[in-house]
Amino acid sequence: MTQNLRVKSSEFIDETNRISFKFDGKTYYGFKGDTLASALIANNVHLVGRSFKYHRPRGIMTSGSEEPNAIVQVNPNSNITEPNARATEIEIYEGLEASSQNCWPSVNFDIGGINNFLAPLFPAGFYYKTFMWPKSFWEKYEFFIRHSAGLGKSPNARDPDIYDHRNIHCDVLVVGAGISGILAAKNAAKNNFKTLLLDEKNELGGSTIFEENENNKINHNSASEWLKKEINELKNIKNLEIKTRTSVAAYHQYNYLLARENLTDHLVKKDKKNKIRQRLLKIRAKKVILATGALERPLIFNNNDRPGIMLSSAIKKYSNFYGVACGTKNIFFTNNDSAYESALSLHNKGIKVEAIIDIRENSDAKIIKKINDAGIKIYWSHTIVDTRGYKRLSGVSIMKLSNDGTSVTGSKISISCNCLGIAGGWTPAVHLYTQSGSKLTFDEERKIFIPKADTKEQISVGSCGGDFELDEIITNLNYKLKNFLNINKTDFEGIALENDHETSRRNIWLLPSDQTIGKTKPFVDYQNDATAKDIKLALREGFRSIEHVKRYTTTGMGTDQGKLGNMHALGIIADIAGVKMGELGTTTFRPPYTPLTFGTIVGRNVGEFFDTFRRTPMNDWHINNKAEFENVGQWKRSWYYPKEDETMHQAVQRESKAARMSAGILDASTLGKIDIQGSDASEFLNRVYTNAWSKLAIGKCRYGLMLNEDGMVYDDGVTTRLDENHYIMTTTTGGAANVLGKLEDYLQTEWPELDVYLTSVTDHFATASLCGPNSKKILNKIIPDLDLSDVNFPHMSFKEVLIDKIKCRIMRISFTGELSYEINAPASYGEAIWQKCIEAGKEFNITPYGTETMHLLRAEKGFIIVGQDTDGTMTPIDLQMDWIVSKKKYDFIGKRSLYRSDTMKEDRKQLIGLLTEDPNIVLEEGAQIVSELNQKPVEMLGHVTSSYFSPNLNKSIALAVVKGGKNMMGRKLFVPMENKNISVTVANTVFYDEKNERLNA
Amino acid sequence: MFLINCPYCGERDQQEFKAGGEAHIERPKQPTELSDDEWAEYLFMRKNIKGVQFERWNHAHGCRKWFNMARDTSNDEIKAIYKMGEKPPTQ
Ligand SMILES: [Zn+2]
């Protein structure tokens, strides 16, 4: 395959390094240094995709990250394919494969293309209007939409690449390495500021580096040659770090910026291996210099979207930088002088320029003479009224503009061409500036939004600051840098500058056609297929806010965020609404500036590292004994221990029986433990728990319920008085951190006068919970010296003991209703103590059990689990736990809320027990409860919160919350399921051993 | 992402901190004396203003101390940071 449009050799392209790549299945060749876009254009391929809504053929428009059309699927046949990559940014490498998007079945024959002819049916707000009604049609629409629209396809395998994050702190961050950025970074670094210079491209120098306009001179040299020397000097400057292929995605408050550094995307497969693909730089800079440049604007005219229609500046870059001609017969269409530079670049390389169409009446710029000398025809005061060619531009029709610019006159002239460069002026790239929270101001004269003010921490230089011409760029840069960095002199102060000046301006946001607007397609947002007609329709339908118009027409809502057409959208709205653009404001540019991959965002936090997880000291034993684990907060807790080929159900039934018949053992190390000390510790507990604490004797334990200030149950657990001014509080596993935070909050902000100190000791102790009628015998084997009699060591009391010289705390407390001891050992001895219990318990068939059995056993006893039986809307009264709420205490957290009219209502949801009519049916947790089956709509009375098959009772049991449930004892209710209605009876929440006799068995 | 000057530790990244809602709302000393409306005022009603707002912040992944911040919600400018118990700045 020849690259028949490669017209000049370029210093930026390595012609000795030929590279083959595939696009839409066909093999092409390019050179090292090409982007996919430049290589395709060199092969005369312009048609690279279809538009989103109308499926119109679309070509490459730009040469940078603002590209709206040429978004492609990379590695389309791989399960790690990547969608929405911009062909203008992909550097080609041997073996690269890419394909068009939005085409079904192919870019050359696309079924959705019919939408183009159905366009009258797809006006602004089409999706909102159509798919709302009738509802049943949605399925039909959906099939069509899913097949024909969408931006590319997502990968369906795990991303195999490595991503990384790096924190950077620097004195000065310079974003953009065009001429302004390079001079700024160089001078900052030379003045001992630790400086970081970033650019999204792979080479430094911005657009100046390929400038061929002989009228632009620095120190009597061509601007590009001068800049190359400056770039060369950067190598020797200390304090300066330069990163190319690095795009700043977000600019947050206080100079915190996120940038994506692309490290391997341009490498061949074997060189990518084992390397970090992309790195997210998290930068906190003392000062930020924005030198992000400007984006060229298109012109908005009828059918301005055909393949072959490109930005004039892009044509110049392809010709000067890549040595590629975008067409063999070129036309330029402009409202300013810059298109003449592009035209001259082509002409000087022997590429035919048919004509320049200029909407202005004339221009005095020096370059006009050169165009005249070259014999290129200029049509002043003319506009394009239509274009031709379906898959490639074949010609344009032009007419004379009326004086006011709203209509066309005279006869139509037709010119054939296969490439059209459009030049609508320049928009400062203020996206990052506005993300930082800084405000813009509108320059009515030049029709641009520019930064309102520089600050001590941030300046905008070069064209992103509104300076477009070389002399004003350099002069203002010098002035701003000296102030910003507080330096006396820059190294470029006083250099000789020569350049052209813009002499005349004319701006028309929407160019007229000889056809009525209804018959034209002047695209404002190429990627989302929004036309000026759509914007007009939105205004006619009453939309006024720019943010509303944007959403209704989808203008600026694509992956390119409408970088090209946003200004025109604003301009058209302002014209129609009759307001000034400055008053209209602009839309918000949101991060990221260019899309990021998920991989970059999550960095190393994938797989095992996605979240921290915590394991108990007995974890190895659990693994060796084939435990299945469940996640509880960050903890990995033993869930159950299946034997041989037991199912979960079988294992849990066996474990539950064993714990009540003989002995069970549970790893309870994950319970939150807070050490509380200080002379006001008792008073503090009085204030945070609902029950009374002052009279708890040393060595005794008490269950406590903690509320939020709104009266709702927040956490629960047993707290033990170790000494006069020393308690150890246990919390739920998931609530530990929050409880500590809440207690600290009250201590620091509400009760700073209390002498109380809190320390989290969750990780310091391992807890083995022995349970069952034989637990006393087992403990006796371990600590023969300890008197375990009910008199010496009763239920709800504590002993400090030595087990093999290890100091342990033993609490006789129970969450199962059985005789039970919790042994707390220093964490590092946890496994040894656990092992000792297992050994001692062997003769009693001690059975390790996990969280599932624990849940089942406590449900048999009607003990709640905060977060399962409660959901932040349950008071202790709702839970039928009135007994734990002190009537005597003057105050505690949440007390007042228990007397609010709402919390005192009789028909609140209350915790009850449920028994199924058929004892073998186990209800589903979350199932709804009703009292009537034939009523429609039926009132949902509540739902099932806990449900199990109890092996000890040999029937199904459940806890539920039901409106007014307290007064429904014995009543028959229903749990309607998909295929059946289950009859249930309201019962006591305590299903097993109601008299608590087993605690002392 | 703010840069917050913890009064105990100095400047730290926002991700070390936890926001704790409106500042200077004192828990009533005698809740039982309050009517439902008065209690609800304390419990539920919070300001959400455009402009300078007084907020509680906690250096959760640092010294764990609570402190107050005066922040302009319109531009996220932190106007002042002061300790618990101190009066809000008047300017
Ligand atoms: Zn701190």
Separation of alpha carbons B9 and B63, rounded Å:
7
H or E element at residue B83: strand B77-83
Phi/psi for A993 (5° steps) reads: 50, 60
Regarding predicted confidence, which is higher, A504 or A288?
A288
Between the alpha carbon of residue B86 and those of residues A72, A220, A595, B24, B57, the distances in Å are 58, 64, 45, 10, 14
Q: Look-up: residue for tokens 């849990």?
A: A652
How many domains, in total, are found in chain A? 6
Q: Look-up: residue for tokens 């970090």?
A: A276
A448 HSE (CA, 13 A, CB side) = 22
pLDDT of A583? 85
A418 HSE (CA, 13 A, CB side) = 15
**A901 lies within 8 A of chain B by CB:** yes
Q: Look-up: residue for tokens 């538009």?
A: A51
Burial class (CB in 10 A: 0-12, 13-18, 19+), A388: middle
DSSP letter (8 states) at residue A998:
G
Residue A783 falls within a domain, yes or no?
Answer: yes
Q: Do the Cβ atoms of B36 and A901 come within 8 Å? A: yes
Q: Are strands B66-72 and B77-83 parallel, antiparallel or unpaired?
A: antiparallel
CB B31 within 8 A of CB A891: yes
Residue A776: helix, strand or coil by DSSP?
helix
A419 with A437, same domain: the answer is no
Separation of alpha carbons A988 and A755, rounded Å:
43
Structure token digits, residue A271:
């060189």
pLDDT of A719? 98
Separation of alpha carbons A35 and A413, rounded Å:
36
Q: Do the Cβ atoms of A741 and B20 come within 8 Å? A: no
Q: Do the Cβ atoms of A741 and B60 come within 8 Å? A: yes
Stretch A107-123: mean pLDDT, rounded? 63
**CA neighbor of A337 nearest in space, from A471, A502, A498, A511:** A502
Alpha helices in A746-896 (DSSP H): 775-782, 830-841, 851-860
Give the total residue count for chain A: 1001
A681 CA to centre of ligand 1 in angstroms: 25
pLDDT of A144? 55
Residues in B lying within 8 Å of A, measured between beta carbons: 1-3, 13, 18, 20, 26-28, 30-32, 34, 36, 39-40, 43, 56, 58, 60, 64-66, 75-76, 84-85
CATH architecture of B3-83: 2-Layer Sandwich (3.30)
CB B68 within 8 A of CB B9: no
Q: Is the pLDDT of residue A594 over 60?
A: yes
pLDDT band, very low/low/confident/very high, at A527 (cuts 50, 70, 90): confident
Residue A593 sits in a domain of what CATH number?
A: 1.10.10
Cβ contacts of A747 on chain B, cutoff 8 Å: none
Regarding predicted confidence, which is higher, A128 or A759?
A759
**A753 lies within 8 A of chain B by CB:** no
Phi/psi for A698 (5° steps) reads: -60, 135
pLDDT band, very low/low/confident/very high, at A1 (cuts 50, 70, 90): very low
Residue A261: helix, strand or coil by DSSP?
strand
pLDDT of A141? 57
Structure token digits, residue A239:
């304090």
Residue A737 falls within a domain, yes or no?
Answer: yes
Instruction: Work out the mean pLDDT of chain A and round it to a whole number.
Output: 93
pLDDT of A128? 58
CB A181 within 8 A of CB A289: yes
Separation of alpha carbons A775 and A509, rounded Å:
86
Smallest CA–CA distance, residue B67 to chain A, in Å, is 9
Q: What is the CA radius of gyration of chain B?
A: 15
- Report pLDDT digits (tens) over A670-696: 999 999 999 999 999 999 999 999 899
CB A874 within 8 A of CB A866: no
Closest chain B residue to A169, measured at CA: B13
Residue A22 sits in a domain of what CATH number?
A: 3.10.20.440
- Report pLDDT digits (tens) over A293-327: 999 999 999 999 999 999 999 999 999 999 999 99
Residue A842 falls within a domain, yes or no?
Answer: yes
Stretch A241-255: mean pLDDT, rounded? 96
pLDDT of B90? 81
Separation of alpha carbons A83 and A75, rounded Å:
9
Stretch A135-157: mean pLDDT, rounded? 64
Structure token digits, residue A936:
């429609």
Phi/psi for A839 (5° steps) reads: -60, -50
pLDDT of A714? 98
Closest in A748, A895, A897 to B66, CB measured = A748
Stretch A152-167: mean pLDDT, rounded? 91
pLDDT band, very low/low/confident/very high, at A130 (cuts 50, 70, 90): low
Residue A636 falls within a domain, yes or no?
Answer: no
Stretch A264-283: mean pLDDT, rounded? 95
CB A852 within 8 A of CB A639: yes
Opening angle at CA A284, ends A283 and A285, nearest 5: 105
Q: What angle in degrees, to the nearest 10, is found between the helix axes of A338-348 and A366-373?
A: 30
A60 with A8, same domain: the answer is yes
* Direct distance between the N- and C-terminal alpha carbons of chain A, in angstroms, rounded to an integer: 91
Which of A95, A119, A154 is at the close of a domain?
Answer: A154
Q: How far is CA A661 from the centre of its chain?
A: 52
Domain range for A921 is: 905-1000
**CA neighbor of A423 nearest in space, from A360, A497, A336:** A336
- Report pLDDT digits (tens) over A866-897: 999 999 999 999 999 999 999 999 999 999 99
When scoring B4, B29, B64 by the number of chain A Cβ atoms within 10 A, the one with the most, hence best to mutate, is B64
CB A91 within 8 A of CB A83: no
pLDDT band, very low/low/confident/very high, at A582 (cuts 50, 70, 90): confident
A410 with A360, same domain: the answer is yes
A74 with A181, same domain: the answer is no
A268 with A306, same domain: the answer is no
Q: Look-up: residue for tokens 């020096």?
A: A366
Give the total residue count for chain B: 91
Closest in A284, A745, A891 to B66, CB measured = A745
A4 with A148, same domain: the answer is yes
Worst-scoring range by mean pLDDT, A456-460, A603-607, B17-21, B63-67?
A603-607
Structure token digits, residue B28:
């009533």
- Report pLDDT digits (tens) over A376-429: 999 999 999 999 999 999 999 999 999 999 999 999 999 999 999 999 999 999
Q: Is the pLDDT of residue A475 over 60?
A: yes
Separation of alpha carbons B86 and A996, rounded Å:
52
Q: Is the peptide bond before A826 cis (omega within 30 degrees of 0)?
A: no
Q: In chain A, pLDDT over 90 holds for what percent of residues? A: 83
Separation of alpha carbons A489 and A478, rounded Å:
8
A824 with A694, same domain: the answer is yes
Cβ contacts of B43 on chain A, cutoff 8 Å: 709-710, 897
Cβ contacts of B45 on chain A, cutoff 8 Å: none
Opening angle at CA A911, ends A910 and A915, nearest 5: 125
Q: In chain A, pLDDT over 70 holds for what percent of residues? A: 95
Separation of alpha carbons A20 and A92, rounded Å:
8
pLDDT of A787? 97
Q: Is the pLDDT of residue A560 over 80?
A: yes
B5 CA to centre of ligand 1 in angstroms: 8
Q: Are strands A797-803 and A713-723 parallel, antiparallel or unpaired?
A: unpaired
pLDDT of A490? 97
Q: Is the pLDDT of residue A741 over 50?
A: yes
A967 HSE (CA, 13 A, CB side) = 6
Cβ contacts of A891 on chain B, cutoff 8 Å: 30-32
Domain ranges of chain B: 3-83
Task: Kindly report the number of other CB atoms within 10 A of residue A580's CB atom.
Answer: 10
A361 with A436, same domain: the answer is no
A404 with A289, same domain: the answer is no
- Report pLDDT digits (tens) over B17-65: 999 999 999 999 999 999 999 999 999 999 999 999 999 999 999 999 9
A33 with A83, same domain: the answer is yes
Closest chain A residue to B27, measured at CA: A750
Which of A440, A465, A498 is at the close of a domain?
Answer: A498
Closest in A253, A255, A896 to B32, CB measured = A896
Stretch A959-978: mean pLDDT, rounded? 96
Closest chain A residue to B75, measured at CA: A437
pLDDT band, very low/low/confident/very high, at A584 (cuts 50, 70, 90): confident
Cβ contacts of B13 on chain A, cutoff 8 Å: 256, 284
Q: Is the pLDDT of residue A454 over 70?
A: yes
CB A301 within 8 A of CB A187: no
Closest in A256, A748, A890 to B65, CB measured = A748
Which of A424, A453, A469 is at the close of a domain?
Answer: A424
**A978 lies within 8 A of chain B by CB:** no
Separation of alpha carbons A227 and A212, rounded Å:
13
Q: Do the Cβ atoms of B2 and A254 come within 8 Å? A: yes
Smallest CA–CA distance, residue B2 to chain A, in Å, is 6
Structure token digits, residue A116:
């183009």
CB A90 within 8 A of CB A36: yes
pLDDT of B7? 97
- Report pLDDT digits (tens) over A179-216: 999 999 999 999 999 999 999 999 999 999 999 988 89
A279 with A334, same domain: the answer is no
Residue A949 sits in a domain of what CATH number?
A: 2.40.30.110
Q: Is the pLDDT of residue A761 over 90?
A: yes
DSSP letter (8 states) at residue A966:
G
pLDDT of A126? 60
Q: Is the peptide bond before A134 cis (omega within 30 degrees of 0)?
A: yes
Smallest CA–CA distance, residue A958 to chain B, in Å, is 34
Residue A682: helix, strand or coil by DSSP?
helix
Separation of alpha carbons A776 and A795, rounded Å:
12
Q: Do the Cβ atoms of B39 and A900 come within 8 Å? A: yes
- Report pLDDT digits (tens) over A808-852: 999 999 999 999 999 999 999 999 999 999 999 999 999 999 999
Separation of alpha carbons A205 and A214, rounded Å:
17
Q: Are strands A162-175 and A276-290 parallel, antiparallel or unpaired?
A: parallel
A102: left (phi over 0), alpha (psi -120 to 50) or beta: left
A9 with A103, same domain: the answer is yes
Q: Do the Cβ atoms of A253 and B34 come within 8 Å? A: no
Separation of alpha carbons A472 and A467, rounded Å:
6
